[in-house]
Structure 1
């Protein structure tokens, strides 16, 4: 984790890790099968860090969603160079599955229809991964170190709109002034929770 945090994914691999540890590269293979396995190990390590408070998560599924999402965002901001791994690789580690099990079990206990429960992880992490990839920077600061924790650093800010060409977008632009900040994240997360709650209630079909 420290190596990727400092130098990024492009520089990461078996030989680079061996050099950092001062060992022969072949000795790494006594412990792990190659770069893909190393990347999986890094992913699991940051997920474990993000789930460190899972034992204190509440029982209500809505509160679990909020706690899980906030810890995931905090992790992404601490490790902006590692986070793309989580968004672009299937996460099937025990840590990842335990967190999803906790959420889906709480939803089923609440009597939510199974289809809504099955959709919930994809809906939640589809939002989280897309939003955080867009707003969490992966660049370096003036000292050459990764800009961990800097909101929006290295990410594309919302564009300025020409009101003569896009009057509606220009009118809405002031509402996007907090691009990537905590308030925006909480607002959008609230929309996701409200959408999940709507899907959790079977709709009454009238003739």
Structure 2
């Protein structure tokens, strides 16, 4: 399956890369829709089932961002290993936000977290399995951090976790808020620094006092 994806790299680039111009993008989008309609097996052949950690070079980052959105329509998700490497490759915080958003808004993840009340604090380990949850657990664990090639020193860990926290805030759907609430309650040595960073972000966002209290309550940051 991934061989076909690699062979399609130029096609997908012309369909998704704005550098080719709107006319080229639209023409290739139309052609892709025609191909899907004429060959019912094509969507399955392009699905994410066999993507591994070594496959991120098959497409450009721009194409992968499109692919994550498209594969959600097939109710498929790439493996956690693949997503870890793609997230690392997306060194820009905005690209990382898009990768996280593509997974957090995926129908499979939304359904998996749909039964959890948003204002209920659930320990990270007890949340339904998902790549974002496991990414956070890896980032806050010095033992697991090596597998993600992150800076496992305190400053590096805190920066990584704060970036993920801000991304989850911007995504803002129920799975993102449930995971973020679990993170902000997680008993690790630098919890206070992350809570402070998130609260500062909320205060600097120029929302009203009532709205600020609502967000703090949503994240479990208000004192009882």
TM-score by length of 1: 0.28
The structure whose Rg is larger is 1
Higher relative contact order (CA 8 A, sep 6+): 1
Report which of the two has the higher share of helix. 2
